[in-house]
Structure 1
Amino acid sequence: MHTNRIKICTVVMAALILISSTALAHFGMVIPSDTMVMQEDSRTITLSLSFSHPMEMVGMELDKPNVFAVSANGKNQALLDQLKPTRVMEHAAWTIDYPIKRPGVYMFHMEPQPYWEPAEDCFIIHITKTVVTAFGDDEGWDAELGLKTEIVPLSKPYGLYAGNVFQGIVKMNGKAVPYAEVEVEHYNQNKTAHAPTDYMVTQTIKADGNGVFTYATPNAGWWGFAALNTADYTIKHDGEDKEVEMGAVIWVYFHDWK
């Protein structure tokens, strides 16, 4: 009997460890092939849209988004119909080749379909954006897109070195969110980054009373910032009203100092 109890406890402990190790942060992702298009660069960038745990390189399925668009030079262009299916981290994702025809600051954003997460008993919607500048234009990188929730950058979201501070304002319904929680993760594309403990896979910070957060990246590459709040509406799942985690996500690339 004593042996059986030990076996049961061992199984339970193993299950708890598995659950804790897989409780990873979710990130909507919009990753362009270039963030600063110069005269000598290709005039077409490729953007990849996915949903994942980027530090651990664990992918999830991304159904075709409800919205994918770009805002540049005072105009908004819907791009949803131009998306093509692809695979990212062995899961369904989307891609597009977008021609850059004139100088400007191009703000791409995606609003996905609600994602049901049984482990959290809620739906997840991460409204995700990234910024690309082209041919010397350097105006308007701090513009608001008027999204349901978004991170408005206070630091230029391109041309940054690793170690630079990045700041942004968390907004929801156009208003700053005091003390918003912001999760930060590195896109570990080449799988060379290793967190010493599970606590360091996702860095968590809080905005101040004005909704402003500050973070200095320790190394080069893509970094995602996800400000998480609860939506002011629910979505039914199996006949029950479930909360919706609204994430304002921005992806920023940091360069090595040479």
Structure 2
Amino acid sequence: MLLSSRPLLAALLLAGLASPVHAHFQEILPSDDVLPDGGAVTLDLLFTHPFEGGPAMEMARPAAVGVLAHGTRTDLSAALEETATGEARSWRLSHTLDQPGAAVFYVTPEPYWEPAEGKFIVHHAKVVVDAYASGEGWDEMVGLPVEIRPLTRPTGLWTGNLFTGVVTKAGAPVPHAEVEVEFVNTAGIPAPNDAYITQVLRADASGTFSYAMPFEGWWGFAALIEADDPMVSPEGTEVPVEEGALIWVRTRKAGE
């Protein structure tokens, strides 16, 4: 009996050791991606695992949050309202768009210490909201330390569309950058196994990547790049910093 139990015990131990660390994504999700008549948009800021619907991680007040529209950056930190997702802090803001054109909302959170990975995480996230369905200004760059330049307009997308972008660092393309892709799984789509939760691809030599989105909803693209300078962990040792360049896009089914 003891001998027959050993393979099972070994399998369980190996399963525990092989358990993946699921992807963290900084969400900045607006109430809509296109405002046909302009007006107010509400954005929710949450640090979480989108496909699994959580758990949400504690999010300190962002280091920076704002909007780029018509070539002008506006600080929106005064508009932040603290909210809660489960027991974790999250944030919300509202902003009115009264002129036609794309507004690029962005957030840089405070560094998040992830002990399971032995590193800090800083994800610079952005999302485009098109006021009056103008179709203009969607490729303006905020100037974040790492940032995705969209080559596909990131608004008005159908399910199945191909999204293409360029990973940049300090404005220059990042060859062969790794890009993680996740879906905000409010539909409760089951994953056959953990390999399906986070899609992973690599940009080409010019930093360009593409991905076809199979479901309706919000999609996050996170290019993960190690920062040039380390930080000091709570234990007092130097550790790497994962800088993420994130962009969020929404798809809709035809006929809806």
Shorter-chain TM-score bucket reads over 0.9
The one-letter code of the counterpart of 1:38 is P
Pick one of 116, 121, 131 that aligns with 1:119.
Answer: 116
Partner of 2:66: 69
Distance 2:65 2:222 in 1: 18
Distance 1:157 1:19 in 2: 39
TM-score (norm 2): 0.93
Is 1:181 matched up with 2:171?
Answer: no
Distance 1:150 1:15 in 2: 39
Is 1:245 matched up with 2:245?
Answer: no
Spell out the pairing of 1:75-94 with structure 2 (5 A cutoff). Answer: 75-88=72-85, 90-94=87-91
Contact 2:127 2:248 in 1 (8 A): yes
TM-score (norm 1): 0.92
Distance 2:202 2:93 in 1: 34
Go from structure 1 to structure 2 and tell me whether the alpha carbon gap of 1:157 and 1:89 turns closer, same or farther (over 3 Å shift).
Answer: farther
Distance 2:51 2:14 in 1: 21
Contact 2:81 2:92 in 1 (8 A): yes
- Structure 1 runs of 4+ with >6 Å offset: none
Q: Structure 1: where are the runs of 5+ without partners?
A: none
Distance 1:107 1:71 in 2: 5
Partner of 1:219: 215
Pick one of 203, 223, 226 that aligns with 2:199.
Answer: 203
Is 1:23 matched up with 2:27?
Answer: no
Partner of 2:169: 172
Distance 2:18 2:57 in 1: 18
Distance 1:54 1:235 in 2: 27
Contact 2:79 2:93 in 1 (8 A): yes
* Deviation by residue 1:166-185 (Cα, 9 ceiling, x = unmatched): 00000011110001100001
Matched residue SS, 2:29: strand
Is 1:193 matched up with 2:189?
Answer: yes
Distance 1:48 1:85 in 2: 10
Is 1:138 matched up with 2:144?
Answer: no
Go from structure 1 to structure 2 and tell me whether the alpha carbon gap of 1:210 and 1:5 turns closer, same or farther (over 3 Å shift).
Answer: same
Question: Shift of residue 23 of structure 1?
Answer: 1.4
Contact 1:57 1:89 in 2 (8 A): no
